[in-house]
Structure 1
C-alpha cells in the first residue's frame, strides 16, 4: 500500500518520538548507574582506608612489643631500635583510624577504650624498659609476668581484627554492588541500542520506500500523455513537494537523532574513564591474589565492563552509519578543499586586522612572529581556523589584565607548518583540555555566548589540512593553541585519490 504524505509524517514523528524516549531512558539510567557506582566506589575506598589504618596500628603495636621483649631477653640496645622507630607513630596512627571511624557511632566507645588501652600499653612498655635500664631486670620481668600488658594487647588486637573484618565485608559488598550496577547498565545499553537501531532502521526503510514510490511516480509521469501539459505540470509540482518533504524528513532525522547520539557517546567515554580508578583499586588490593572476590572484581573490570562498552560503541556506530545514509539523500555534498599558494605571514596579518580594533579598545596588543615559507593549502580553512582562535582569545579574556595575543608561525624539521596562538586569557582547566574539542562541550564559566562547536570545527579543519590542534593552558598564564598543517595539501589530496 502506498504511503501518503500524512501517513509518512505520522510515521516519521512516531519513530522520532520512540527514538528520543529510548535515548532519554538510556541517558537517565546511565547517569543514575554512574552515580550509584561512584557511591559504591567511595564506600569501598573508605573501607579500604580504615582497613589499612587498622593493620598499620596493629603492626606498630606488635613491633613495639617485640622490640621490648627482645631487649629484656638480651639487654642489647640494638633491639630497642624498632621500638624507638615506632613508639612516636602509634598515637598518630590511632588518631587517623579514629578519624576514619567517626561516621560510625557504634565504634565511638570501643575507640575510646582502645585509646586508654594503648596509653596503658605504652606506659607498661616504658616502665619495663626503665626498670631494665636501671639494672632492675627482675622487676621488669615480674611486671611482664603479671600479663596485664598481654591482656591489654589482646584486647586491642581483638578490636583491630574486628575493624579489619568489618572493612573486608564492606569492600566485598561494595564490589558486589558495583558488579550489579555494571550488569544493569549492560542490559539497559543493549535494550536501548536495539531499540534505537530498530528506530533508525525503520526510518531508513520508510525513507527508502517513500523515495522508491516517488521514483515510481516520476516514471509514471514520463509515460503519461506528453500532450497533457497541465497534467504533467501538476504531477511535477506534486513530485517537487514530495522531494521537499523527503529532504525535510532527512534533516529532522539526522539532526534530532544525531544530537542524542552524541550524548550516548559522551556518557560511554565517562564510563570508560571510570575503569581507571576501579582497576587501580583492584590492583592495589593487598589480600590473597587468589581471593575469588578479587578475581571476580578483576574480571568484571577488565572483561565484562569493556565488553559492554564495546557493544554500546558498536551499536552507536551502526546507528551513525544509518543516519549518514539518510543524510546522503538530501546532502548536496561537501566543499572540496582547494590548495593554493599562501603567504602565511600575509594571511595572519589579514586575520589579525579583522580583530585588532577589539584588542586596542581594551588597551591590549597583538604580536605577529611568522617565519614560515609559503604553503600550499586551503585559504578559507586557514582563515576560519585563525579567526576562530583569535575570537576565542578575545571572548575569553581575563577580566583583570589587558589582552595580549601572540601568533607564531614556523616550519619544523619534518616539514610540518606549526602555528601557535598564545593568549593571556582566563585559561582552561586541565580536565577540560580534551573536552573543549568535542561538539557542544565548553569549559569554565558560561558567561560568554556560544554553542560549543567552534573548537570541534577547528580540529576537523586542521585534520582535513593534514594536521591537528593541541593546547596548553592554566588559569594563571592563559592558553596556547598549537595548530599543525601539512606544507603541501596537494600531496595529501593526490594520495587520497
Structure 2
C-alpha cells in the first residue's frame, strides 16, 4: 500500500521528535559529565601542583642542610655549591607553595607559621657557614647542637608529609571520579547511539518507501517535461548569443567613433598651420583694410583662432580619452580569465615595491600583513586592481601628514579572501562612496589629473573574478578599500558555465 503524504509527514514528525529528545538527552548528559570530569581534572591538577611544590621545597631544604653539614665537617668549599643552588630556590618555592595552599585552608596557618621558621633556619645555616669559614668551627657546631634547626626541620617534614599524603589521596580520588565519568559517558553514548540508530532506521524505511512512490511519479513528470527542457535550452542559447551580439555591437560602435575624432584632430593641426599663414598676411603692414577691419582681423588671428583651436583640440583629446576608457573596460570584460596559483604575499610585496620611491618622497611608510598565502585567480587582474588602488593612495595623499599605506589579506568564511588597502589620505565624502565607482565620476577637489575611470575599471575587474569591492572612508582622515575574492576563481567559472 503506498504511503500517503499525511502518513509520511506524521511518521516523520514522530520520529523527528523522538530523535530530538534522544539527542537533547545525550547532549545534556554529555555536558554534565564533561563538566564533572573537568571539575575533577582541575582537582587533580591542583593536587599535583600542591604535591610537586611541597616536594620541591622539602628537597631544597634537605639539600641545604646536607651541604651545610658536609661543609662543617670538611671545610671544603665544593660542598657549598649545592648549598647555594638550593638556598636560592627555597624562598621562591615557599612563596609558590603559599599561593597554592590558599585553596586548602587546613594548611594555610601551618604554612604561614613555617615561613619565619624557614628564614630562621636559613639564617642559622648562613651563620654557621660564616663561622666555619673564619675558623670558628667549634662555635658553628655548638649552634647546630642546640637542635633548634632540627626542630624546625622535623616540623617542616611532618607538615610536608601531611600535605603530600593528602595530595596523593586527592589524586587517587580525582582519577577514580574521572574514570567513573568516562565509563558513564561511554554508557550514555552507546545507549543514545542505539536509540538514534533505531530512529534513523525508521526514518530511512519511511523515506525509502515514500521516495519509491515519488520516483514513479517523477518518471511521468520527466516524460512530460522533456520537450519543455529542450525549448528552454534553445531559448537560453538564443539569449546568450543575443547578449554577445550586443557586446560586439557596443564595441564596434565605440571603436568606429574614434575614426572621425582622429580626423578632427588632424584637421585642427592643419588649421593651426593655416592660422600662422593668415596671421602673417593679416598682420602685414601696408594693406588696404580699414583700421577697424585690421584691428578685428588682428584680434581674430591673435586671440580668437588660437582660442578656438585650443578648445577643439582639448575637447577632441578629452573625447578620445573617454572612448579609450570605454574600449579598455570593454576589452577587459572580454579578456578570458587565466586561473593560476598565486603567492599573494609576493604579489602584494611586488606592487608595493613599484611605489616605494613615491612613498619615500612623501616621508611615508607601508605595511603588509598576509594570512592567506595562496589563492587561485587571474594574476594580471589582481595586479591591476591593487596597483590602481595604491596609485590612488599616493595620488590623493594628504599634504599635512606623512603618507601611511597598510595592506591586510586574510581568509574569511565561504571560501573567500578579503584584501584591505588602507591609507591616511584625503578621504572620500559619505555622499560619494558609491558614485566614485561609476564611470567618469570623481569626488573631492579636482586638482589631480584623471578622467574618473580607474575605480570603475577596478570594479569591473573584481566582478569578473567573481568578487566585489567596497569602501569605508571618512573625509579628511583616510580610506579603506575592501576587495572580496573567491579563493579559487575556477569555482566561479564552473558555476557560470553550468
TM range (shorter): 0.3 to 0.5
Name the TM-score, length of structure 1 as normaliser: 0.45
Name the TM-score, length of structure 2 as normaliser: 0.45
Q: Larger Cα Rg: Structure 1 or Structure 2?
A: 2
